Structure 1
């Protein structure tokens, strides 16, 4: 095993580090593009805390990637497909393009 692999195992207490190609922000966007879900449903689906989902929703709303509307006692979220991806390497692409490819 390469030295970097051994170091990662030691730092993680003997367990391989878990990682994914997409951020939790991307997971929230993709899930909401498919169907209307509550923060609790998103947290269970993505595997993060409900509080983390709420923080991500706040980020995405503040930056214009999501719009929140009240439907009775429940919040409903709609994705803005024209929002640009944030990293300079991907900024020529939109959220809608990402959703089209992955959803």
Structure 2
């Protein structure tokens, strides 16, 4: 059995439910252990979150052999009154685009660092 990931201290902008949903949106056939590692959660916590999301209609799955294929309901609206009417698809498009932007930004930053001469060396 894998060791539990180190807990995160302090506050974050996203809930664990949003992180799990984004991981599933990125790969509908993802395994729970991979979601747990990516989100720094235990497998049990991910199972509970998936159960919550399925119970409330945001997510469903089909079992294919030993693999689950998840289906997100993109038209479901976010639960908090401050985001009333905003569909899950809008949140996921931001989160998934952020992953692409983050990779691009990291590549651009690395390229800039390679071109900057170091003085005094």
Normalising by structure 2, report the TM-score: 0.69
Which residue is 2:50 aligned to?
A: 57
Which residue is 2:116 aligned to?
A: none
- How far is the alpha carbon of 1:20 from its aligned partner? 1.1
- How far is the alpha carbon of 1:18 from its aligned partner? 2.4
1:77 aligns with 2:74: no
Structure 1 Cα separation of the partners of residues 56 and 48 of structure 2: 12
Structure 2 Cα separation of the partners of residues 101 and 74 of structure 1: 27
Higher gyration radius (CA): 2
1:26 aligns with 2:42: no
In structure 2, list runs of 5 or more residues that go unmatched: 1-8, 97-121
Query: Which of structure 1's runs of 4+ aligned residues deviate more than 2 A?
Result: none
1:68 aligns with 2:61: yes
Q: CA RMSD in A?
A: 1.4
- How far is the alpha carbon of 1:19 from its aligned partner? 2.1
In structure 1, list runs of 5 or more residues that go unmatched: 1-16
Structure 2 Cα separation of the partners of residues 59 and 53 of structure 1: 10
> How many correspondences in the alignment?
88
Listed one character per residue, the Cα deviations across residues 16-70 of structure 1 (whole Å, up to 9, x for unaligned) are x422100000001111111121111100110000000000000000111001100
Structure 2 Cα separation of the partners of residues 80 and 86 of structure 1: 14
Which residue is 1:37 aligned to?
A: 30
Name the one with the larger helix percent. Answer: 2
Structure 2 Cα separation of the partners of residues 19 and 43 of structure 1: 19
